[in-house]
Every structure is written in C-alpha cells, then in structure tokens.
Amino acid sequence: MDEYDIVSESEVSEIREALENESLTSAAAKIQSYFESLDHVELNIAITGESGSGKSTFVNAFRGLRDEDEAAAPTGVVETTMEPKSYSHPCYPNVKVWDLPGIGTPNFKADTYLEQVSFDLYDFFIIIASERFKDSNVQLATSIQKMKKRFYFVRTKIDDSLRAAGRKKDYNEEKTLEVIRQDCIFGLEKYGLVSPIVFLISSFELHLYDFPKLEETLEDELPKHKRHVLLLSLPNLTLEINQRKRQALLADVWKLATLSCAVAMVPIPGLSVVVDVGILVKELRRYYEAFGLDEESLNSLAERVGKPVAELKEMINSPLNKEISADVVIKMLTKAAGAGLMVVEYCASTIPVFGSMVAGGISFGTTYYMLKSCLDELANDSHNVLMRALESEV
C-alpha cells in the first residue's frame, strides 16, 4: 500500500500521539477538525495586467468556463472591468478569482493601484500581458514583492502569436515559443527585475503550453491547506493535474476511514452506518467534481477540444456516473464489507498507528476500501476521458 507514503510524517505522528496518549475519539476529533477546516478555506486569486490583455478570458478559463457561459466574466475588445469583481468557482465557492481593472488606465495608475484594488485581500497575483510586459507591470510586481506577496507573469494569447508565426517558411513551434519567452524575460529585466519567470498560455487551450507548469508552481508555493483547495478546483485539463488530484484525495482516505472507525465504537445502534453513508456520499461527490466528470465540466472540455461530448462520455465506466446517493452507497457498502476485513487485517499487522482501532476495524476497512476503490475508478475514468479528448494532440 504505497499510498501511505503520501501522508506526511507530521500527520501520522499527530494521529499516533493522540491514539497512544489520549484515545481514538481524540484522534477522530483531530481528523474531523481537519475536514471541517478544509470546507472553510478561502482562496482569493487576483488577475491583473494591462487593459485588453485577456484578463477576463483567463479568469473564465481558470474556473473551467467558456466566455459564453452564464457565470463567466464579461469579455470584450475594450476594458470591461471598471472595479475589482470576484467570480466564485462553480464547484468550490470558497475559491474566488478576482478580475481586477487594467493597470495603467486613467482611473488606475500604477503607483496607487494596489491600494485601489484592496491589495491585502488576495493570496497571490497573476500579472497578464498579451504582448510585451511594460513598465507598469514591473512597478506592480515590485510593489507586490515589497509587501511580501507572490506574483506570477503570464503571457497570454500564445495561440494567436503561433498562428501569426506559422506563416513563415522556417516556422518551428518550439523555437518560436522560446523566442517569445526570452523576449518577455528581456523586457522585464530591462525594467530592473532579476531572473523573472514567464508562463506562456492560451486561455482557449489551457492544456497546452505552460499552464501545467504554472499550476505546479502555484501549488508548490501556497500554504498546505490552500494548496489542496487550489488543486481540486483547477480545471482537469492535463494528465499531470489529474494524477496530482488523485494523490491529494488519496491522502485523505485513511483519515476518513479512521473517523468512521471511531464512530463505529460508539455504542449506539445504527450510528456507524448513518455516518459512513454520509461520509461516502459527500466524499464521492467531491471526487466526481474534482475529476471534471460532471455535465458542465465535460461539456466545457468537449468544446475546448472540438469533440462531441458523447464521445467523451463513452470513456466513463464507473456506475457512479449515473447517481451518487445514500441508496447507491449502502449497496456498495454491503458489497465492500468482505474486502474491508482484508484491509483491517493488513493495517493491524503492518501499520502501528492503527493498532488500537481493531474494535472499529470493520467500519475502518469497509470505508477505506470503498473510498479507495471509487477514487481509483473515477480517476481512471477521468484519465481515459482526457486521453480521448487529447488524442489528436499527442
């Protein structure tokens, strides 16, 4: 069971200490507190840059939406954002992407911009340009840096730039991308920035170019609790993101199973079943949304890659695709009980932290097996959907 390797040593140590020095109930309380805190984590992402650089389109793409979707930020050929406007993620309402007014416009000068847009509210800034970065971008980045927050340079509309370059006889995509990247870096260095990093992105084709690198960088540099929320909220557009989501969700399976085990030890008839079903329904719905298997996400992906949504749905085999309800989960729990006992035997013999959980072992094993199996099923379905969606690109 290599999945235990992804649980941090500090987490295991904290739960083990609670089990050895306090009780299983205390350990479960720590786990319950962890999951409750995740539900309340807020992430505020600021998208800024020059007017007309494609900020609003990027806001939509980051939330997995198209410009024409009902909940999308308005876009246009002229500046459409006159004041900071937040747009919640369709599945994770605590994740807010802020479309900020264009910097350098008459109403938003670089030297007063951060104060005007309520700087302290945001966790990090993404500074966007559709051509070269200008002095106002560097002034903004320098001010953000002084206030000890992070910023990231994103060069958008790369698809347009490549189409224009493609008219040349000696066109080479890889070389063209490097020329654009170095040109952006040179421009930023000219204004005094040291070793800037620039991510090349097309908001209409997020699965291409540098978006996966940007996502990985954001994930690495955020605090742990916000990193988890960011990862699950990202549009499931690359195999790398799909795999990282699976690993992040897998790290929570044993915690939920421990919680189930603790409830099973409370001498109230039927309590464990009720709690297990509640845990499973909520968590399975979280998996389903995180992997982009809901109707809205599949339609958006199909639109992006130019394929019929029915073709993508053909790749989904999990029965959870049809319904995730208490009745469905109860049936699956019944089938999982035998396999759950094998999990208990393994955990009791090889993982010391579970040594005192034997009394609630059946509940632990069944919940663990159910969540792990369903997670694998939905992750594989999502992987297959992406493979079909991107097969023309590979």
| HEC string for 275-343 | HHHHHHHHHHHHHHHHCCCCHHHHHHHHHHHCCCHHHHHCCCCCHHHCCCCHHHHHHHHHHHHHHHHHH
Nearest 10 degrees: CA dihedral of 243, 244, 249, 251? 110
pLDDT band at 91 (very low <50, low <70, confident <90, very high): confident
Q: Do 188 and 133 meet the contact criterion of CB atoms below 8 Å apart?
A: yes
Q: Which residue has the higher pLDDT, 60 or 257?
A: 60
Nearest-angstrom CA–CA distance, 217 and 201 = 14
**Nearest to 28, CA basis, from 270, 356, 340:** 356
Token pair recorded at residue 21: 């020095």
The DSSP string of 195-212 is S--EEE--TT-TTSTTHH
The DSSP string of 2-49 is GGGGGS-HHHHHHHHHHHHHT-HHHHHHHHHHHHHHHHT--EEEEEEE
Digit-coded pLDDT (tens) for 298-355: 888 888 888 899 999 999 988 887 778 778 777 776 666 554 544 444 454 444 444 4
> Residue type at 359?
A
Residue 199's DSSP bridge partners are 154
Average pLDDT, the chain: 78
Residue with tokens 């189930």: 260
pLDDT band at 175 (very low <50, low <70, confident <90, very high): very high
Dihedral pair phi/psi, residue 197, rounded to 5°:
-110, 135
Sign, CA torsion 119/151/61/77: positive
For the chain, which domains are there?
2-39+236-390 (no CATH), 43-230 (3.40.50.300)
Residues 6+ apart with CB under 8 A from 386: 236, 237, 238, 239, 242
| Least-confidence region, from 23-27, 238-242, 297-301, 368-372 | 23-27
Task: Tell me what pLDDT residue 158 has.
Answer: 93
> Residue type at 328?
V
DSSP 8-class letter at 85: E
Nearest-angstrom CA–CA distance, 281 and 294 = 15
Token pair recorded at residue 226: 């916000």
User: Is residue 194 pLDDT above 60, yes or no?
Assistant: yes
Greatest CA separation found in the chain?
A: 77
**Nearest to 253, CA basis, from 345, 354, 353, 371:** 371
Token pair recorded at residue 132: 């070269």
pLDDT band at 135 (very low <50, low <70, confident <90, very high): confident
Q: Do 179 and 153 meet the contact criterion of CB atoms below 8 Å apart?
A: no
CA-angle at 113, arms to 110 and 119, nearest 5°: 135
> Residue type at 333?
L
Task: Tell me what pLDDT residue 267 has.
Answer: 44
Digit-coded pLDDT (tens) for 215-274: 889 988 888 778 888 888 888 888 888 888 998 898 888 777 776 666 554 443 443 444
pLDDT band at 71 (very low <50, low <70, confident <90, very high): confident
**Nearest to 324, CA basis, from 285, 297, 279:** 285
Nearest-angstrom CA–CA distance, 206 and 212 = 8
> Residue type at 306?
G
Q: How many helices (H) and strands (E) does the chain have?
A: 15, 6
**Nearest to 28, CA basis, from 270, 282, 279, 350:** 279
CA-based end-to-end distance of the chain: 32
| Least-confidence region, from 82-91, 107-116, 246-255 | 107-116
pTM above 0.85, yes or no: no
**Nearest to 273, CA basis, from 332, 355, 345, 212:** 332
